[in-house]
Amino acid sequence: PGHKGKGPLGCEGRDITEIAGADSLYEAGGVIAQSEQNAAALFGAKATFYSTGGSSQCIGAMLCLALQKSKSRVVLAARNAHKSFLHAAALLDADVRWLWPRPYSLLACPVTPEMLENALAALPEAPAAVYITSPDYLGNVQPVAALAKVCHAHGAPLLVDNAHGAYLHFLPAPAHPLDEGADLCCDSAHKTLPVLTGGAYLHLSPTAPAQLAPLAKSALGLFGSTSPSYLTLASLDLCNRYLAEGYPQRLAEAVER
Is 62:208 a contact under the CB 8 Å cutoff?
no
Residue 105: per-residue pLDDT:
83
Counted residue by residue, the chain has a size of 257
Instruction: Pick the closest to residue 39 from 257, 255, 236, 251 (CA basis).
Output: 236
pTM of the model: 0.96
Handedness of CA 96, 101, 107, 110 (dihedral sign): negative
Phi/psi for 160 (5° steps) reads -125, 125
CA distances from 235 to 27, 33, 35, 200 (A): 19, 15, 11, 10
Residue 221: per-residue pLDDT:
97
Handedness of CA 186, 92, 226, 29 (dihedral sign): positive
Residue 101: per-residue pLDDT:
87
Residue 210: per-residue pLDDT:
86
Residue ranges, the chain, pLDDT below 50: none
Q: Which residues of 7-24 are buried (b: 16+ CB within 10 A; e: fewer)?
A: eeeeebeeebeeeeeebb
Residue 22: per-residue pLDDT:
94
Residue 246: per-residue pLDDT:
96
Would you give the DSSP letter of residue 125? Answer: S
Residue 225: per-residue pLDDT:
95
Residue 74: per-residue pLDDT:
98
Is 75:125 a contact under the CB 8 Å cutoff?
no
Which amino acid, residue 119? A
